[in-house]
Structure 1
Amino acid sequence: MSIAALEGSATLLDDLRAALGAEAVLHDEKSRTYYANDVFWQPGVAPLAIVLPRTADEAAAAVAAASKAGVSIVPRGGGMSYTKGYLPKRPDSIVVDGRKLNRIVELNAADQYVTVETGCTWSALNEALEGTGLRTGYWGPLSGINATIGGALSQNSAFFGSGIHGTVAETVLGVTVVLADGRKVTTGSGGRVGAKPFNRYGGPDLTGMFLGDNGAMGVKVSATLRLYPRPDKVDFLSFGFQTMQAMAAAQVEMARSRCVSEGFGIDRTKIEHSASVNKLSDGLKTLGNLAMGGKSLFQGAKDALGVATAGTAFLKAHNFTLHLVVEGRTDGELRHSLDTLRAIGKRHGTEIENSVPKVMRSKPFGPVRGMLGRDGQRWVPIHAVFPLSDAPKVIDANDAFFAEKRGFMETHGIIYSVMTMTVGNDFFLEPAFYWDDEITPLHAASLGEDVVRPWRDRPANPATRQAVAELRRATQELYAGMGGISWQVARDYPFREILSPETWSLLEGVKRAVDPQGLMNPGALGLD
């Protein structure tokens, strides 16, 4: 770095400390190194500094100062990304860690919306909504104890509530975003003078350009989400299948029925290697405590005992298992949905013990233990989304692809598993890979030292990590070639190469309009 650049960096750090306070600006080597890694990609480029704004105005001041200095701005949420979404591309970058922007701004039960700062976790938002009888449509990922509202908006997350309500984008009414020059802009009706943020439209949909953008268009500081009455009735179903094709056929038919709140299908390898699934057999004490959380999940000690003693052995009797949460506003509505789904499931497979979805729903936002395998293996997924009708050919192609790659994976010690979901009217396919590798500071901070201690001395394994990267890229290209799309694009999934030239030029034009210097998360979405 030149003398002029060093002097400019020092001036910027002084400006940031003056605007946010010294304690909100991190510049030490340990912090800079920590923020250069995500769940998979390591080591990355260390940023110049990290800022932790506590208000939207502080975030705007930090962005404006960085922009004036010609320094890149990289937004970061809860740190659960594995697609380079919050990793700096250039050393002259500041990371804006938004986790201190975590207030509930307005909870309007009468008009059924909530405005929340984007550093709030999904777990905290759901706690704030307890007792209101309301819930957002999509209400969080499995990693919701760490994952933030802003991170989900940037990567278009899906899980809880997604069977009916789709991705998080379909729950958003408007956002407030800091643009690259420090301006705060509000989209939706909240951007009108004197209007409530109750509606997304009433003109061009400016909200959409900031969803799924991985921060390429601006730093989101708050969002307004639509609320719905929380269903009073809930029950659970699980099924076993001999083939993935049979399971996918059931999922597609169930998705068209609009009866599934959320659900997922997994293979036997996932059962054996996923720490999250294996937590089912952790013992009576844990499950007994969960049982006390609500009669709608467990009908008392006897039910809890049955779940605990069942463990995971019954799952391994099937090559694939599907686990569903079903909700209804009345007993009759719930019963109709259960009967519909049970009939579909039995046409394609066998009904089995429903303890997996029951335990998952009893504590939806538990520790993110699944970011490592059962025995501390590193884990990284890959995904794509397809039309429901394409599921059969996608499953066949996926099976053929990984059969061809079996020798490669065995040579490198890579374990493959797969998960499927339906999200609204889409079929979601997510292979995951496990391998032995070093534990990073991000894993330790996310899971706790007590959890990772047994594997702390495991050496780095860059050769296998590179093999996983090559396997992921080949999988991405397979899915993209079949017309699949990916939500967490960041700087990982193919994007520019699969857009038509006309569509790409429109995206570039929007980027130039909101970020003429190209300082907002350079490289995200392939924009640079």
Structure 2
Amino acid sequence: MDKVLRALEDAVGSDYVSVEDFVLYTYSRGIEGALEEVMPEYVVRVKSTDEVSKVVKVANRYKVPIVPRGGGCCLMGGSKPIEKGGIVMDLTGMNRIIDINLEAMTAAVECGITWAKLNTLLFEKGYYTGTLGPGSGMSATVGGGLSHHSVGGGGAAMYGTCSEHCVALEVVLPQGDVVQTGSNASIYIKESFCRFGLGPDILSIFLGDNGIFGIKTKATLEIFPRPDYHECKTFLLENPGDVNAAKIWLEWRRMGSLGIYDSQYLPPLTVVAYSGFLTEFPFIPAWKGIDKGILWYTIEAYTEEELEEKVKLADEVVRRHGGEELGEKIEDGNIARWHYEKHGFWQNWHALWNIAGPGCVPCSTEHHVPIHRMPDMFRAFEKWEEENRSLLEKAGAFSGVSTAILCGHTAVEVDSGLVVWDRPELRSLNKQLWINQMHMVIRNGGMPYMTGELYSQSLVDAAAFPEPYFELLRTLKRTLDPNGIISPGKYRL
């Protein structure tokens, strides 16, 4: 038995360390479709912060890299090794709810819990996490969502990214020390409630870091009462729908708070794709033959009068920009109601990833842009697709923007990318197209948030970062991780 294996088994128990080929292969990739499988040497399933710390110390002793992994849902290669070997640390065994404090309105959890498990319990108590994490929330973990500033699972229009509501975070640093951040940084604060105080916002270093600065083990999130009243509406938009959607969202924002909990725009091609492939969804029959884009919203309110007034104001804006309302019921094509009342926010994205059938996989280039710049990005994609038409046809790939999601006060999350065929002979071409499109997004002002392997490296390769910024990033990494143990290769670090 090699020394590393023996030390890992001493740290977590022999039942929780694997070197079997079929297990290593399982952890050699996520759901991304154009990256090579990269086999780790060891898979370790941790059950506590203490075990995480012990494993990290073993890795430092023997100079073995570690990739932390939650649900494996990163679309950019963020939860697999970039270079062969090392340890993949599976954190999904750390999935306990530690405390739900309804007085402080917080939930403390281990970071291996899924967003679905946490919010299912909170729903029963009349609460939720605001933004419900990523669209992959049935399998994506809280730690993964915080590592990527995730959106997509619902609630982003009102609450922004999921990481905005983290008030305390426990992190195992790259040399094995355990640090408490946010409210928990002070030994005298007994209830986590706010991260803005006690000096610099050190917690934020670990949010959106894609796992390069440490391993998240426990998090405390703000939770919010679910309002008693809501309305869900779906509209057809006159073309160009992306232009009209941006105008609608800007007008809503300039009117102050309308209680818009969620709002998305689906371009005409996405509507056609839904109609052709996702036939099991109950709103699909009403979409047959539609050649327009769709905009939908959910508004929440605490009284009937408040809801009525907000819906009236929101609808006036939509109709002013050519919106035609579909029916009230889900069967009338009202995806908004399905999304909110039937937990469609998670079903939706899991289905889209395999929209064209077995062997079809996503190569995402999702990113943020300002609301008023959304149409410009749509045009940039149209131009890119025309310039790369022959390569797309050779790969049998589809490209474009599938959805735009209103996110926070000023931003739109643009769900864009490629749908490719996961075949060995196409891997190189698929990756070439994927990287090329990432560079296009970056150079057109898109802000990637789930960066993983390819987007983080593309930001560096496209020279997006001025040298003072990148040197600061390098300095932070070297200071926290002098042995280069945690997630090496991301951002070319």
Aligned to 2:407: 423
1:363 is aligned to 2:353: no
| Distance in 1 separating the partners of 2:405 and 2:123 | 27
The residue identity in structure 1 corresponding to 2:22 is K
Query: What are the equivalent positions in structure 2 for 1:101-500 lying under 5 Å apart?
Result: 101-159=94-152, 160-195=154-189, 196-202=191-197, 203-241=199-237, 242-243=239-240, 244-257=242-255, 258-259=257-258, 260-274=260-274, 278-279=277-278, 281-282=279-280, 308=282, 311-314=284-287, 316-349=289-322, 350-353=324-327, 354-361=333-340, 362-364=342-344, 365-366=346-347, 368-376=350-358, 377-418=360-401, 419-424=403-408, 425-437=410-422, 460-463=423-426, 465-493=427-455, 494-496=458-460, 497-500=463-466
Q: Distance in 2 between matches of 1:36 and 1:272?
A: 34
Contact 2:369 2:411 in 1 (8 A): yes
User: After superposition, what is the alpha-carbon deviation per residue over 1:182-211, rounded to whole angstroms, capped at 9, x for unaligned?
Assistant: 111110111211312222021100111001
**For 1:77, which of 53, 70, 75 is the aligned residue?**
70
Instruction: Quickly say closer, same or farther: Cα 1:374–1:251, change in 2 above 3 A.
Output: farther
Change (3 A) 1:373 1:179: same
Q: Distance in 2 between matches of 1:247 and 1:430?
A: 15
- Residue type of the alignment partner of 1:251: W
Supply the distance in 2 between the matched residues of 1:487 and 1:315 (Cα, whole angstroms). Answer: 34
Letter in 1 for 2:4: L
Change (3 A) 1:422 1:319: same
Instruction: Tell me the SS of whatever aligns to 2:223.
Output: strand
Q: 2:2 matched to 1:18?
A: no
Which structure 1 residue ranges, 4+ long, deviate > 6 Å from structure 2? Answer: none
| Residue pair 1:491, 1:523 contacting (<8 A) in 2 also | yes
Once the two structures are overlaid, the 10-residue window that deviates more, 134-143 or 497-506, is 134-143
Superposition deviation, residue 248 in structure 1: 3.1
User: What residue ranges of structure 2 are gaps of 5+ in the alignment?
Assistant: 328-332
d(CA) in 2 for partners of 1:339, 1:401 = 39
**Separation in structure 2 between the aligned mates of residue 422 and residue 190 of structure 1, nearest angstrom:** 32
Q: For the residues of structure 1 that align with 2:347 and 2:252, how far apart are their CA atoms?
A: 27
Instruction: Decide whether aligned partners of structure 1 residues 470 and 249 sit closer, same or farther in structure 2, where only a CA change above 3 A counts.
Output: farther
| Residues in 2 aligned to 1:358 and 1:462: alpha-carbon distance in whole angstroms | 42
> Residues 214 and 525 of structure 1 are in contact (CA less than 8 Å); yes or no, is this contact kept in structure 2?
no
Distance 1:39 1:120, change over 3 A: same
Offset at residue 147 of structure 1 (A): 0.6
Q: Could you tell which deviates more after superposition, 207-216 or 134-143? A: 134-143
Q: In structure 2, how many angstroms separate the alpha carbons of the residues matched to 1:251 and 1:33? A: 45
Q: Aligned equivalents of 1:461 and 1:90: distance in 2?
A: 19
Q: SS of 1:484's equivalent? A: coil
Q: Partner of 1:501 in structure 2? A: 467
**Whole-angstrom CA distance in 1 between matches of 2:475 and 2:417:** 35
- 1:516 corresponds to 2:478: no
Question: Does the Cα contact within 8 Å between 1:345 and 1:351 map onto a contact in 2?
Answer: no
Shift of 1:278: 5.0
Report the alpha carbon displacement of residue 48 of structure 1 after superposing the two structures with TM: 1.1
Which residue number in structure 2 is paired with residue 448 of structure 1? none
- Aligned residue number for residue 286 of structure 1: none
Q: Would the aligned equivalents of 1:315 and 1:321 in 2 still touch at CA under 8 Å? A: no
The CA distance in 1 between the partners of 2:431 and 2:274, in whole Å, is 20
Contact 1:238-1:321 at 8 Å conserved across structures: yes
CA contact (8 A) 2:35 2:431 kept: no
Answer yes or no: is the 8 Å Cα contact 1:104–1:117 preserved in 2.
yes
Alignment TM-score, normalising by the size of structure 1: 0.84
Please give the per-residue CA displacement for 1:80-138, whole angstroms capped at 9, x wherever unaligned.
11212112123341011100000011111101111111100001001221332222221
- Number of equivalences: 469
Deviation at 1:315, TM superposition (A): 5.7
**Secondary structure of 1:126's aligned partner:** helix
CA distance in structure 2 between the partners assigned to 1:475 and 1:99 by the alignment: 32
Once residues 204 and 416 of structure 1 are traced to their aligned partners in structure 2, the CA distance between those partners, rounded to angstroms, is: 42
Deviation at 1:217, TM superposition (A): 0.2
When the two structures are superposed, what TM-score results if normalisation uses the length of structure 2? Answer: 0.90
Give ranges in structure 1 of 5+ residues lacking alignment.
1-6, 284-307, 438-459
The answer to whether the aligner puts 1:46 opposite 2:39 as a matched pair is: yes
Q: Work out the CA distance in 1 between the residues paired with 2:312 and 2:454.
A: 42
Task: Give yes or no for contact 1:264–1:420 (8 Å, CA) kept in 2.
Answer: yes
Q: Distance in 2 between matches of 1:397 and 1:43?
A: 28
3-state secondary structure, aligned to 2:336: helix
- CA 1:38–1:431 in 2, change beyond 3 Å: closer, same or farther? same
Distance in 1 (alpha carbons) for counterparts of 2:310 and 2:436: 39
Task: Give the CA RMSD over aligned residues.
Answer: 2.1
- How much identity, in percent, do the aligned residues show? 26
How far is the alpha carbon of 1:237 from its aligned partner?
1.3
Deviations 1:435-490 (A, max 9, x none): 333xxxxxxxxxxxxxxxxxxxxxx2432x43332222222222211222100112
Distance in 2 between residues matched to 1:401 and 1:91, nearest whole Å: 33
Cα distance in 2 for partners of 1:39, 1:222 equals 25
